[in-house]
């Protein structure tokens, strides 16, 4: 089940109550239609990535990249203090502001 977490960057951030992964979806009707067309044409993953690659969606793309890295780190780090330090580094790292973030 997906639970709404926050309205941010012109969309809503959802979290799966089972696996705790995150998903950002747009709120506007036109934006939803555009995302649907990209998903229909390129598949779920590629269509979603292409949608987030648009310049207006950069903040949402950066947020999703950081959340994905946090999820990966949570699986590999057992020490809570080390994990907290890694989260702090991820959230404040500037490399996510570059265009290469996928």
**Dist CA 73 CA 90 (whole Å):** 10
Output the pTM of the full model.
Answer: 0.67
What is the per-residue pLDDT across 42-79, written as a single tens digit (0 to 9) for each?
A: 999 899 988 988 867 778 888 888 888 888 888 887 88
Count of structural domains, the chain: 1
Q: Is residue 81 part of a domain?
A: yes
Domain-located, residue 65: yes
Residue 102 domain flag: no
pLDDT at 2 over 60: yes
| Residue 95 banded pLDDT, cuts 50, 70, 90 | low
* Among 80, 48, 42, CA closest to 64: 48
Q: Are 22 and 15 in contact (CB under 8 A)?
A: yes
pLDDT digits (tens, 9 = 90+) for 17-41: 888 888 889 988 999 999 999 999 9
Which domain covers residue 54, as residue numbers? 2-97
């Amino acid at each position: 089940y997906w639970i709404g977490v926050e309205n941010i960057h012109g969309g809503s951030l959802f979290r799966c109550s089972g696996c705790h992964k995150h998903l950002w979806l747009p709120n506007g009707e036109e934006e939803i239609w555009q995302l649907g067309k990209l998903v229909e044409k390129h598949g779920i993953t590629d269509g979603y990535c292409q949608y987030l690659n648009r310049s207006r969606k950069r903040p949402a793309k950066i947020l999703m990249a950081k959340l994905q890295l946090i999820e990966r780190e949570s699986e590999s780090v057992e020490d809570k203090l080390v994990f907290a330090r890694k989260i702090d580094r991820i959230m404040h790292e500037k490399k996510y502001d570059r265009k290469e973030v996928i």
